[in-house]
Structure 1
């Protein structure tokens, strides 16, 4: 979605929307529409720039990505 590079599903991070906030779904079992990105900040930033999240989740308006950004920043630090 962000960088548009195709890869196997196991290398991607599933995202879901919970009360207007995009959160990571590490187990891949949360209900609702999901979107997939590589688990790196660069891919998240590309998806935000392209305004891909509202289209992927089929919602109107902006979504909060602060929790997702913090989660990915922690993964990048490791």
Structure 2
């Protein structure tokens, strides 16, 4: 059985392989490709639409139970890199 997770932006359920795990580290959102970093994780589709929606709704802060705004720069850079390939 394949593990299923829910995207924090669109709330659609998908295979863990189709989503990106994101954790908070030092006030920044960090990609956790191998899903091994410590702490709570939030899952999001690796699309500009879902990423922008999650950032604008502050879904990452809620899902990760972090107060304040998180820097989404590292994830946005990652998305741009993947779209250029």
**Normalised TM-score (structure 1):** 0.93
1:24 paired with 2:58, answer: no
Name the structure where strand makes up a greater proportion of residues: 2
In structure 2, what is the Cα distance between the partners aligned to 1:77 and 1:4? 26
Q: Which runs of 4+ in 1 moved over 3 A?
A: none
Once the two structures are superposed, residues 12-60 of structure 1 have per-residue CA deviations (whole angstroms, 9 ceiling, x without a partner) of 0000111110010001100111000011121100111221111011111
Q: Which has the higher contact order (CA 8 A, sep 6+)?
A: 1
Aligned to 1:65: 72
What stretches of structure 2 of length at least 5 have no aligned partner? 1-7
May I ask how many residue pairs the two structures share in their alignment? Answer: 78
Superposed CA RMSD in Å reads 0.9
**Normalised TM-score (structure 2):** 0.86
